[in-house]
Structure 1
Amino acid sequence: MTSHEPFRVDLHVKVLDEQVVSRAKRYGLDALVYAPHFTRLPDIRATAREYSDEDLLVVPGRELFTGSWRNRRHVLAVGLDSPIPDFITLEGAMAELDRQGAAVLAPHPEFLNVSLGRAAIDRYQDVIDAVETYNPKYWRYHNRRARSMVAELALPAFGSSYAHRHRTVGEVWTAFAERIETGGDLLAALRDGVPRRIEHRAGTIHRLRRAAEFAHLGYENTVTKFDRLVLSGTEPTHPERDVYESRFADVRVY
């Protein structure tokens, strides 16, 4: 990549293996943010290191599951210094993210019942570093609404594949105007609001892959999420776990 070319980052993927890495490189991506659900930060970091090389930077991230199952809100964090559990209040999560100086992203805003709404983004806009304006699971009006929100609040935007399926990797990316070499560089670019464009593929195949991702969302919320609801106390990222040393006892919801 020459100095004048954009640096293309998929800022949110849930899957990571050799197939994902191969697809990312084939579609011209320079970096991925790997942020699987309910996975401890040290494990995410180890997997990110395993799949990073000189051609593709893999940066660890955490999509925090804040609130209860009836009132859940997802927040995407990049550049954490120490682990933060799921199942804590949104207020508690935002305070800890601010304390750590992490980049705080609002994925899929106002989408179903798992996202930050306009009121929450407005409340935490001094903490939030970017709002997602393109996501394959979105319908067109979701994208328009997100772009309108970003414009009204004067917040930076980002886009991601939000890939739960291998074939969605490479469909969406955020193209930064500056070269990024490390996870620290990406953290700085997000925190500093480095200029970027939100880009995505188009055409029939893109539409089919978007539809497949949306269909996967239905499966995830009716089968696997029910299992997690019943077994939530056993999650590796539950605030009861010893790794958190009771630091979040005052803000836990389970």
Structure 2
Amino acid sequence: MTFRVDCHVKVLDDTIVERAKRAGLDALVYAPHFVRLPEVRERAASYSDGDLLVIPGREVFTGTWRNRKHVLAIGLEDPVPDFITLEAAMAEFDRQDATVLVPHPEFANVSLSERDLRTYAETVDAIEIFNPRHFPSNNRRARELADTLSIPPFTSSYAHLPRSVGIAHTVFESRIDGEADLLTAFGNGAARRVVYDNGLDRWGTTAAELGHLVYENTWKKVDRLFLSGTEPTHPHHIAYDGRFDDVAVY
């Protein structure tokens, strides 16, 4: 019995679900940018069925735009905003006993460093060792970090585009019947394999996803910073009732 999960996707609709099922996946972790946890939960539930489990997650943007460190949390009970300190985010994940995954370590200016990983090794449940947006050197470095720090691996499609879903996924070598079982598997370091396509299809996905990354960090970022007002996941948003004001970076 195995369980195949794409541990991090940004997009979710009927096309995504169909593609995931064709790829033989059992689950997706849906963690879109700048969307509050209640909305993520509602959307994930609406696309889950007996053939595909959609699990809500939050990729929290800690730090500033210039030096942000992304951390993926699943199993959260209470919402956690973006743009708070890494220390505050990790403390909140600990408080909630959330499952903490580290996407794309040491990639550009959006990732946890080796020093961060050493500092929070007791909180981190897994490190992403293959990401389709990475070049081979980035993936080799990620694998080195997981091996050096003895932290279990995972992989994901990190899909911002529908074509990417399922191109990389994590296979657990045990029976998993729902979200709680998956969280336990991560927490216990359960046996797993990382599976990814490294052929022409993979490089086409890499090119498309990197193109989307450029878009995210140019016109889209300008819109978010200057044109759209306060993000729903900003720590000063009314939804957080001032709980994170003292650890906000903006």
| TM-score interval (norm. to shorter) | over 0.9
CA deviation after TM superposition for structure 1 residue 232, in Å? 7.2
Alignment TM-score, normalising by the size of structure 1: 0.96
The whole-number CA distance in structure 1 between the counterparts of 2:74 and 2:201 is 30
Quick check: 1:160 aligned with 2:153? Answer: no
Provide the alpha-carbon RMSD of the alignment. Answer: 1.1
* Match for residue 143 of structure 2 among 140, 147, 168: 147
CA deviation after TM superposition for structure 1 residue 179, in Å? 1.7
Q: Provide structure 1 residue ranges, at least 5 long, that are not aligned to the other structure.
A: none
The whole-number CA distance in structure 1 between the counterparts of 2:229 and 2:247 is 15
Q: Provide structure 2 residue ranges, at least 5 long, that are not aligned to the other structure.
A: none
Show the counterpart of 2:194.
198
* Match for residue 165 of structure 2 among 159, 169, 175: 169
Quick check: 1:111 aligned with 2:107? Answer: yes
Runs of 4+ with deviation above 6 angstroms: none
Quick check: 1:53 aligned with 2:49? Answer: yes
Alignment TM-score, normalising by the size of structure 2: 0.97
The whole-number CA distance in structure 1 between the counterparts of 2:229 and 2:185 is 36
- Taking every aligned residue pair, what percent have the same amino acid on both sides? 58
CA deviation after TM superposition for structure 1 residue 214, in Å? 1.4
Show the counterpart of 1:250.
246
CA offsets 1:10-63 (integer angstroms, 9 cap, x no match): 000000000000000001000000000000100000000000000000000000
Contact 1:69 1:229 in 2 (8 A): no
The whole-number CA distance in structure 2 between the counterparts of 1:132 and 1:65 is 17
Show the counterpart of 1:31.
27
Contact 1:107 1:115 in 2 (8 A): yes
The whole-number CA distance in structure 1 between the counterparts of 2:166 and 2:244 is 37
Contact 2:156 2:166 in 1 (8 A): no
- Paired AA for residue 166 in structure 2: G
Alignment: residue pair count: 250
The whole-number CA distance in structure 1 between the counterparts of 2:198 and 2:129 is 16
The whole-number CA distance in structure 2 between the counterparts of 1:161 and 1:30 is 14
The whole-number CA distance in structure 1 between the counterparts of 2:248 and 2:91 is 13
Which is further off, 181-190 or 163-172?
A: 181-190
CA deviation after TM superposition for structure 1 residue 71, in Å? 1.7
Contact 1:232 1:238 in 2 (8 A): no
Which is further off, 71-80 or 209-218?
A: 209-218
Which is further off, 211-220 or 164-173?
A: 211-220
CA deviation after TM superposition for structure 1 residue 203, in Å? 2.0
Quick check: 1:11 aligned with 2:7? Answer: yes
Which is further off, 219-228 or 44-53?
A: 219-228
CA offsets 1:219-251 (integer angstroms, 9 cap, x no match): 111111122122575100111122211111110
- Paired AA for residue 57 in structure 1: L
